[in-house]
Amino acid sequence: MPFISHNPATETILERFDSLDKTALAALLSQTHAAQREWRHRPFAQRAALLRALNHLLLAQQDRLAALITEEMGKPTREALSEIKRCAAVCLYYATEGEAFLTPQPTASDELHHSYISYHPIGVVLGVMPWNFPFWQVFRFAVPALMAGNGVAIKHAPNVPRCAAAIAEVMSSAGFPPHLITNLYIEDALVADAIASPHVQAVTLTGSGRAGRAVAALSGGALKKCILELGGSDPFVVLADADLEWAADQAITSRFSNCGQTCIAAKRFILLPQITDDFIALLQQKVAALKVGNPADPGVTIGPMARQDLRDNLQRQVDLALSAGAHCLMGGHMLPGPGWFYAPTLLDNITESSPAWTEELFGPVALIIRARDEMDALRLANDTPYGLGSSVWGRNAEHAEQFAEGIEAGCTFVNGMVRSDPRLPFGGTKASGFGRELSSHGIREFTNIKTVWVKNG
């Protein structure tokens, strides 16, 4: 079946792409493997030079590329521009720091020998990528993998094939060798063949828990390393001494950016009794100020959801939450007219009997959970199958940091919105996956960490 690109704001078809069969898939992976065998011997300086060229191209073409994201997956223009700039930044970061991260590290030894740890490319890394950040998710894994001497084969989400083509185009224009970076327009049924291929040595996936379990099983069966960045239901804990105006502003940005379709968005707002009513009032005021509409309009803050089935599933989850006793303070419904729009929604009185207690709501819906005290707030923050991001808000930063230490998550931000930063390792725990991307940790994930021991004399 072809990959079909839609405009989610108008529901019109933009372009069709033919999908690959098994024979074409095998041929592409063989070519990428051959290109990587040559690339692995390129000096770090040459790899860094190409990443710097890619950085310059992304910045020079940021308006065109951002417009493509907006048109194909519905992200407002301002946010799409930010995504392209992040991709440019990660190129510059690893061009600058990558060699130092992979420099052999001497290790203490006795007088008769010396030893060190070296880092070698693992081969071709298969990336199974999502649609919600169609450029950033690819660059987040591909840039450090390439700097480490690997090749990359990218299985993009089927609803963003034009973004996939643009990534391949800009990387080729930057001067990367032919076939080192390849797009795989394959259906989900062929992912197993790609993982099993002798030309693929590792796998990384960003996606749902269901997809993560399937890829983990296939990778384990093939004895290939995998990194999984899965869903999240991030707690946003507002302590009694928080700056409510500041926290509410950040809450709105975190929950409703990208139409709420972000793994690390704040999804569960856990409130202390002393501030609950005031904070909810602020949220209502700020949600009412959001503007839903055509994401290409500079004044719009929320575009459409990326696909119709995603919007339908979100409505099902909201209806189930309401049936379980939740109170709808705002929104709670699809919006009429063409496009897959959903009203920004606030649901109060989310209790443990609600399906929303354990599920991730991937859309513009904020859940309000009332804590009895700080101990209860910590329990609530951890009472989730997920463990990706989290945030804590309070004027006493030292106290908030102590509270944050008790949260079970891959990262916790105190008085700041959860985000991925090239300088910091990124990833989750529990059902949010395993392994890390970015920083020195991320670039080393797809290397052979090799011990070398040499006897003197």
Q: Would you name the residues annotated as active-site residues?
A: 229, 263
> Cα–Cα distance between 282 and 30 in angstroms, integer?
56
> Cα–Cα distance between 110 and 116 in angstroms, integer?
12
Residue 313 is which amino acid? N
SS3 155: strand
> Cα–Cα distance between 55 and 70 in angstroms, integer?
21
Structure tokens at 304: 């459409």
> Cα–Cα distance between 42 and 327 in angstroms, integer?
60
> Cα–Cα distance between 170 and 302 in angstroms, integer?
28
> Cα–Cα distance between 183 and 178 in angstroms, integer?
12
> Cα–Cα distance between 212 and 214 in angstroms, integer?
5
224 touches 57 (CB < 8 A): no
135 touches 69 (CB < 8 A): yes
Q: Which of 16, 2, 18, 32 is nearest to 171 (CA)?
A: 32
Q: How many residues does the chain have?
A: 457
> Cα–Cα distance between 379 and 371 in angstroms, integer?
9
Centre a 10 Å sphere on the Cβ of residue 45 and count the other Cβ atoms it contains: 9
